[in-house]
Amino acid sequence: MIQKGVTFVVQGPLTPETIRGIYNYKKLGKVIVSCWDTDSEALMAQIPHDIKVVVNKFEDNDEYNFQNIRYHIQSSLGGLLQVETPFAVKVRSDEYFTRMNKFINSIYLNPDAITACNFFFRKTVLFHPSDHLFGGGTKTLVEMLNNSRDMISCYKKNETVKVETLGLSREYTFKWLTAEMTFCLSYLKTKGVDVLSDIKGMSNEEVVNYHRNLIKQHYRLVRASDLGYFLFRYRSNSDRDGPTAFTNEADFLQYNIRSIESLDDL
């Protein structure tokens, strides 16, 4: 018998997209908004009364925060620790999706995997699944984020961590330890997989094959084109003439950051 029951955790600073997303997500499950004590009171007042709100204390300290990973972990965990359903979906507060049925079905049918989206999920950047939208077993997601917090605890605020210090190579992945990489390695650790130990002594080709098999075993993919109307942000785009958001899958598939369409593309 397939176990069901899902909660959407909308994490990050409140935006108009937060409110729009809530009304779509609550059609399929419970919703928890995990925001900050610095957020707009006007937006806070627009959150429906039947939605649980977790207000996190926003603090600037000396902890590692490349790509805002500390805030990402804190606000995600703040919501996930309040989830009472067996499954959860983590979504960003500045993005939205109007048709999440296929995504939820993927979670129910693959309870031991993480379901992610293909937005900026790249073949050429290993151990770097998209972190904009992901879902799975609630306990697994909590463990993944706790592992992630532990993994970055030895680094400082303005530090950038070269992947070579981890035993990885920029020949097949991003040159810095990113949020996506941290989450991926930490999630695989919950499955009993120690990537950094396993790849010691492997050639690049062997690492690519190892990565492909791991991701296909432990992840499932739902395409953006199956999510109805959507908004994905790309605020970190260093190209001043380039887009900072996408609302059409074809646009980001054709963009210079090549996203996959299927895990078979890896």
CATH number of the 6-228 domain:
3.90.550
Helix/strand number for the chain, H first, E second: 9, 10
- Contacts (Cβ under 8 Å, ≥6 apart) of 125: 172, 173, 174
Q: Which residues does 170 contact at the CB level (< 8 Å), separation at least 6? A: 162, 163, 164
Q: Which residue has the tokens 């993927």?
A: 106
Read off the tokens for 73: 């972990």
Amino acid at 82: Q
Give residue 96's Cα distance to chain centre.
14
User: 239-257: b or e for each residue (b if 16 or more CB lie within 10 Å)?
Assistant: eeeeeeebeebeebbebee
Report CA-CA distances (Å) from 203 to 109, 116, 163, 188.
35, 28, 16, 21
> pLDDT, tens digit, for every residue of 72-114?
999 999 999 999 999 999 999 999 999 999 999 999 999 999 9
- Going from N- to C-terminal start, the domains of the chain cover 6-228
pLDDT digits (tens, 9 = 90+) for 232-262: 999 999 999 999 999 999 999 999 989 999 9
Q: Which amino acid is at 209?
A: N
Burial (CB count <10 Å: 0-12, 13-18, 19+), residue 35: buried
Residue 151 CB-density burial (10 A; 0-12 exposed, 13-18 middle, 19+ buried): buried
**pTM for this model (two decimals):** 0.96
Torsion angle (degrees, nearest 10) of CA 193, 196, 197, 199: 100
The 10 Å CB-count burial string (b at 16+, else e) for 36-63 is beebeeebeeebeeebbbbebeeeeeeb
Task: Give, in degrees to the nearest 5, the angle at Cα 10 between 7 and 16.
Answer: 135
Distance from C-alpha of 120 to C-alpha of 257, rounded to nearest angstrom: 7
Q: Per-residue pLDDT for the chain (266 aa), expressed as one digit of tens each? A: 789 999 999 999 999 999 999 999 999 999 999 999 999 999 999 999 999 999 999 998 888 888 999 999 999 999 999 999 999 999 999 999 999 999 999 999 999 999 999 999 999 999 999 999 999 999 999 999 999 999 999 999 888 999 999 999 999 999 999 999 999 999 999 999 999 999 999 999 999 999 999 999 999 999 999 999 999 999 999 999 999 999 999 999 999 989 999 999 99
